[in-house]
């Protein structure tokens, strides 16, 4: 019977693939037919922006304009066609989705998919064909201003989330635009820096999520990065765009430039860029407008090259706005708010709960002081980065009032002033890190009178912003002084930090007993946070990047490669990015990759691999048992790392190769079964330009974080 069902399923899948192939063949014929009738001028029109967020279609064949919008936090408000000012629409309020590092902290690809579906549905409602999302450059350097938009320091976690975000968006027949390809890991000098990255690091660290999003997610568009990679602008980088992306990975869609990220006509056209986008006209003077027409006429760019670009664009239009399955979409619906809530509530990381203050015992609490600017701040907008005109955004104070206000008095004190704007000069921002004693005194006076103090600190979208990096890891706005004063005044102080990137939490970790990490967590942030504090949600977020003890410990700073010399950032750490660096160099982090607590405890047992010896092409089936030994249900993120023992080449101490998030009822034991392909244990040999599987002994680690190894087993590769 099982066999019959399997045969029937295989028959259905094969039928579907056949039908898909057939329709792709028909589509190719249709596209070729249109292409034959197009003039060169019409083709060139399609290859560059005709407004801030669109490029021309071919009206006489009924091909519509290609319209795009930012991402990643949600569908951006409508701006004017030719400038960045608001179009003052009343129908463009959208769902504000949790930021990239929040999604990554869920360690749950299903959440990335949920995110994508919302983005896709809302893009359809706004008639956008391409969403400029997701963004998943590797978090190489903790100060990078866009860390909050990106996912992780780990290529595997990055890949699993990227695939699902793309699939989610594209399930709505909207193109995802994965960005920024590649090695765009700092904002300082981003449009002039030349990043020098060896091929092994590119292949093992910086490329995997892009490759996975293309090959497994079938991403329709890719955005080239602003920076140079190994001497060539990413928008005209033959290795990156032609050799790797299009030829090796088989990318069928279109590469668009980052806004005003093109530098030459002929080099960009011949080296793989398909669409030039930018910030201001005159549009017919752009590299891919009149100059490209001239370059074709003078023979520097072939018609074949132009046709390939147009073919790619038509292909993506037929898969999006002209797809027969294209829906009208929906925006800012209760279902979308619920998705934002689900993601936010899985992203919150419990960093410390030594006094078992959390979850708050409602019956004993008569009064709560909520303190800090971040308790009332909305994060949908701010700084240079794309934001969202959020239909609603529940602040921490609103969430806490709604969850605790019936049984306790909830009062607020500002605590600190967030005196920092991304577009101010350093001189204008001077003093932003100073405490405001009057606000501290008011907060202390309030905290003295309440049973509990919830201190909401961290950063905001002005302080973490596209276009600039932070200068150090210090908490801004004199927050440490506020923490010290409030914690001294109220022994039941809970520190809640809202930010998108690592900060220096040394003192807080040492002196405070209760620390919760939240993010720029979207429309439902306050509700999700309050539900975690109340125990309605058992926290299950895990850090997607390392928090170093000091900036000097982190690779780019230790090797003096940030921001680079003479506009060159040499990634000397190679593959040793994130925990790979800290592990290999034996440096203790403040909080390690993968870390996060729960209101329950889990024990691991019976780690077994299905065999002891494997060969190339095999897969390891790993089983493990995880028991919830506490009194409440909870989700555990089981992490599987692999170490190569006695390697003859440099290998990181360990590398994440699989993970699974599972809900386990109290007292229950859950079986965990995962597969790891032996081929995925290869390293890239820079000299031979090939992936190599080292024979010999390996260790598999089942872990609750990158530094909390619970079970190990060994196996061999022949
Ligand atoms: C950013 C992109 C963004 C584009 C359009 C650029 O500055 O780097 O991520 O999609 O602007 O807003």
Q: How many other C-beta atoms can be found within 10 angstroms of the C-beta atom of residue 182?
A: 26
State the distance from the centre of ligand 1 to the C-alpha of 34, rounded, in angstroms. Answer: 31
* Atom of ligand 1 minimally distant from the CA of 53: 5
Interior CA angle at 360 toward 354 and 362, to 5°? 155
Q: Per-residue pLDDT tens for 663-714?
A: 999 999 999 999 999 999 999 999 999 999 999 999 999 999 999 999 999 9
Residue identified by tokens 């091909």 is 63
Give yes or no for residue 2 having a pLDDT over 80: no
- In ligand 1, the atom with minimum distance to the C-alpha of 384 is 7
pLDDT band with cut points at 50, 70 and 90 for residue 22: confident
Is residue 606 exposed (0-12), middle (13-18) or buried (19+ Cβ within 10 Å)? middle
Q: Which of 70, 176, 383 to mutate to test the pocket of ligand 1 (most atoms within 8 A of CB)?
A: 70
Best residue among 69, 176, 386, 422 to mutate for probing ligand 1, ranked by most atoms within 8 Å of CB: 386
- The residues annotated as belonging to the active site are 258
Structure tokens at 543: 């850090």
Span 435-463, mean pLDDT? 98
* CB distance 662 to 669 below 8 Å: no
The string of pLDDT tens digits covering residues 457-501 is 999 999 999 999 999 999 999 999 999 999 999 999 999 999 999
pLDDT for 18: 64
Average pLDDT of the segment spanning 510-537: 98
Separation of alpha carbons 392 and 404, rounded Å = 20
Helix residue ranges per DSSP H, 473-615: 479-489, 506-511, 525-534, 555-558, 579-584
No. of H helices and E strands in the chain? 19, 27
Tell me, in angstroms, the distance from the centre of ligand 1 to residue 201's CA: 25
The rounded distance, in Å, linking the Cα atoms of 476 and 497 is 12
- Decide: 167 in ligand 1 pocket, CB within 6 A: no
- Report, as an integer, the average pLDDT of 369-390: 96
Q: Does 6 have pLDDT greater than 80?
A: no
Distance, CA of 248 to CA of 242 (rounded, Å): 8
User: For position 232, what pLDDT does the model report?
Assistant: 98
pLDDT in tens, 397-436: 999 999 999 999 999 999 999 999 999 999 999 999 999 9
Residue 76 Cβ inside 6 Å of ligand 1? The answer reads: no
> What is the CA(166)–ligand 1 centre distance, in A?
18
Testing ligand 1's pocket by substitution, the residue of 132, 178, 185, 277 carrying the most ligand atoms inside 8 A of its CB is 132
What local confidence, expressed as pLDDT, does residue 9 receive?
55
Mean pLDDT for 72-91 is: 96
Identify which has the larger pLDDT, 265 or 325.
265
Q: How many angstroms separate the alpha carbon of residue 110 from the centre of ligand 1?
A: 26
Give the helix/strand (H/E) hosting 685: strand 683-685
To test the pocket of ligand 1, the residue of 259, 275, 279, 467 to mutate (highest count of ligand atoms within 8 Å of its CB) is 259
Residue 12: pLDDT band (50, 70, 90) is low
pTM higher than 0.95:
yes
Q: Which residue puts its alpha carbon closest to atom 4 of ligand 1?
A: 259
Segment 140-170, tens digit of pLDDT: 999 999 999 999 999 999 999 999 999 999 9
Which position has the token pair 């593959």? 575
Average pLDDT score over residue span 311-319: 98
Question: Which pLDDT score, from 0 to 100, does residue 5 have?
Answer: 54
3-class DSSP state for residue 35? helix
Q: In sequence order, what are the residues at sequence separation of 6 or more whose Cβ sits closer than 8 angstroms to the Cβ of residue 124?
A: 172, 173, 174, 326, 327, 328, 329, 330
CB 323 within 8 A of CB 173: yes
Report the C-alpha gap between 681 and 655 in whole angstroms.
9
Does the pLDDT of residue 11 top 60, yes or no? no
Instruction: Write down the pLDDT at residue 325.
Output: 86
Please say whether the beta carbons of 161 and 72 come within 8 A.
no
Is any atom of ligand 1 closer than 6 Å to the C-beta of 386? yes
- For residue 599, the model assigns a pLDDT of 98
Q: Is the CB of 179 under 6 A from ligand 1?
A: yes
End-to-end CA distance of the chain: 37
Starting from the edge strand earliest in sequence, which strands make up the sheet with 602-609, in order? 602-609, 619-628, 669-677
Please tell me the residue having the least CA distance from ligand 1 atom 8.
Answer: 258
What pairs with residue 642 in β-bridges? 655, 700
pLDDT of residue 588: 98
**Residue ID of nearest Cα to ligand 1 atom 2:** 258
Instruction: Take atom 6 of ligand 1 and give the residue whose Cα is closest.
Output: 259
Backbone φ and ψ for 426, nearest 5 degrees, come out as -55, -40
Q: What is the mean pLDDT of the chain?
A: 96
pLDDT at 21 (0 to 100): 77
pLDDT of residue 15: 60
Q: What is the mean pLDDT of residues 187-200?
A: 97
How many C-beta neighbours within 10 Å does residue 263 have? 15
DSSP 201-230: HIIIIISHHHHHHHHTT--SEEEEPSSEET
Distance (Å) from CA 258 to ligand 1 centroid? 6
Ligand 1 near 259 CB (within 6 A): yes
pLDDT of 19 over the 80 cut:
no
Residue 258 Cβ contacting ligand 1 at under 6 Å: yes
C-beta atoms surrounding 339 within 10 Å: 27
Binding site membership of 69 for ligand 1 (Cβ less than 6 Å): no
pLDDT above 90 coverage of the chain, percent? 96
Q: In degrees rounded to 5, what are phi and psi of residue 45?
A: -55, -35
The CB density around residue 86, as the number of other CB atoms within 10 Å, is 12
Instruction: State the average pLDDT over residues 599-608.
Output: 98
Q: What confidence tens digit (pLDDT) does each residue in 114-125 have? A: 999 999 999 999
C-alpha pair distances (Å), 325 with each of 268, 329, 507: 34, 11, 55
Q: How far is the CA of 658 from the centre of ligand 1 (A)?
A: 32
The encoded tokens of residue 499 equal 């930010």
Phi/psi of residue 94, nearest 5 degrees:
-130, 175
Residue 368, pLDDT > 70, answer: yes
Is residue 605 within 8 A of residue 623, CB to CB? The reply is no
Strand boundaries in 112-187, DSSP class E:
130-131, 175-181
Tokens in use for 511? Answer: 């002196």
Distance in Å, CA 340 to ligand 1 centroid: 23
């Amino acid at each position: 019977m099982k066999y019959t069902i399997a045969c029937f399923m295989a028959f259905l899948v094969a039928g579907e693939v056949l039908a898909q192939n057939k329709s792709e063949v028909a589509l190719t014929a249709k596209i070729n037919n249109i292409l034959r009738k197009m003039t060169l001028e019409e083709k060139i029109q399609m290859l560059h922006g005709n407004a801030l967020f669109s490029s021309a279609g071919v009206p006489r064949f009924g091909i519509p304009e290609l319209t795009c919008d930012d991402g990643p936090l949600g569908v951006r408000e409508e701006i004017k066609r030719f400038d960045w000012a608001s179009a003052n629409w009343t129908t463009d309020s959208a769902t504000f989705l949790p930021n990239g590092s929040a999604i990554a902290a869920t360690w749950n690809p299903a959440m990335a998919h949920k995110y994508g579906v919302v983005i896709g549905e809302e893009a359809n409602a706004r008639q956008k064909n391409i969403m400029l999302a997701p963004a998943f450059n590797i978090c190489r350097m903790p100060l990078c201003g866009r860390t909050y938009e990106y996912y992780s320091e780990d290529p595997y976690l990055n890949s699993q989330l990227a695939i699902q975000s793309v699939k989610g968006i594209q399930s709505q027949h909207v193109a995802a635009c994965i960005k920024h390809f590649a090695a765009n890991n700092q904002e300082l000098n981003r449009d002039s820096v030349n990043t020098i990255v060896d091929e092994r690091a590119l292949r093992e660290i910086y490329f995997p999520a892009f490759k996975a999003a293309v090959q497994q997610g079938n991403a329709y568009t890719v955005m080239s990065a602003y920076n140079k990679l190994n001497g060539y602008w990413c928008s005209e980088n033959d290795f990156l765009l032609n050799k790797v992306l299009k030829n090796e990975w088989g990318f069928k869609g279109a590469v668009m430039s980052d806004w005003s990220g093109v530098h030459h006509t002929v080099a960009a056209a011949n080296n793989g860029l398909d669409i030039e986008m930018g910030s201001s006209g005159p549009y017919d003077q752009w590299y891919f407008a009149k100059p490209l027409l001239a370059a074709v006429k003078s023979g520097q760019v072939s018609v074949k090259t132009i046709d390939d670009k147009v073919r790619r664009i038509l292909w993506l239009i037929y898969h999006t706005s002209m797809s027969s399955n294209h829906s009208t979409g929906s925006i800012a619906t209760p279902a979308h708010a619920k998705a934002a809530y689900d993601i936010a509530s899985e992203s919150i990381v419990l960093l410390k709960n030594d006094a078992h203050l959390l979850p708050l015992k409602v019956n004993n609490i008569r009064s709560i002081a909520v303190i800090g600017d971040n308790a009332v701040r909305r994060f949908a907008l701010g700084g240079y980065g794309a934001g969202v005109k959020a239909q609603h955004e529940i602040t921490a104070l609103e969430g806490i009032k709604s969850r605790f206000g019936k049984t306790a008095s909830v009062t607020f004190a500002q605590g600190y002033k967030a005196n920092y704007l991304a577009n101010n000069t350093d001189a204008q921002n001077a003093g932003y890190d100073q405490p405001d004693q009057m606000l501290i005194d008011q907060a202390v006076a309030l905290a003295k009178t309440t049973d509990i103090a919830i201190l909401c600190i961290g950063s905001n979208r002005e302080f973490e912003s596209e276009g600039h990096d932070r200068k150090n890891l210090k908490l801004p706005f004199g927050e440490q002084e506020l923490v010290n004063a409030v914690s001294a005044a109220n022994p039941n102080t809970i520190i809640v930090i809202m930010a998108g990137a690592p900060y220096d939490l040394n003192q807080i970790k040492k002196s405070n007993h209760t620390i919760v990490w939240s993010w720029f967590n979207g429309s439902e942030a306050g509700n999700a946070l309050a539900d975690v504090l109340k125990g309605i949600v058992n926290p299950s977020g895990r850090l997607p990047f390392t928090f170093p003890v000091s900036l000097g410990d982190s690779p780019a700073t230790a090797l003096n490669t940030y921001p680079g010399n003479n506009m060159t950032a040499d990634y000397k750490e190679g593959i040793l990015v994130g925990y790979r660096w800290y592990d290999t160099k034996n440096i203790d982090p403040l909080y390690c990759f993968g870390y996060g607590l729960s209101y329950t405890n889990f024990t691991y047992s019976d780690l077994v691999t299905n065999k002891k010896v494997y060969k190339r092409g095999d897969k390891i089936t790993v089983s493990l048992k995880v028991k919830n030994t506490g009194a409440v249900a909870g989700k555990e993120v089981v992490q599987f790392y692999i170490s190569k023992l006695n390697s003859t080449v440099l290998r990181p101490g360990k590398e994440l190769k699989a993970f699974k998030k599972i809900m386990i009822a109290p007292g229950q034991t859950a079986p965990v079964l995962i597969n790891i392909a032996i081929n995925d244990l290869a390293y890239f040999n820079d000299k031979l330009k090939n992936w190599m599987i080292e024979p010999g002994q390996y260790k598999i680690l089942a872990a609750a974080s990158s530094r909390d190894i619970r079970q190990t087993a060994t196996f061999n590769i022949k």
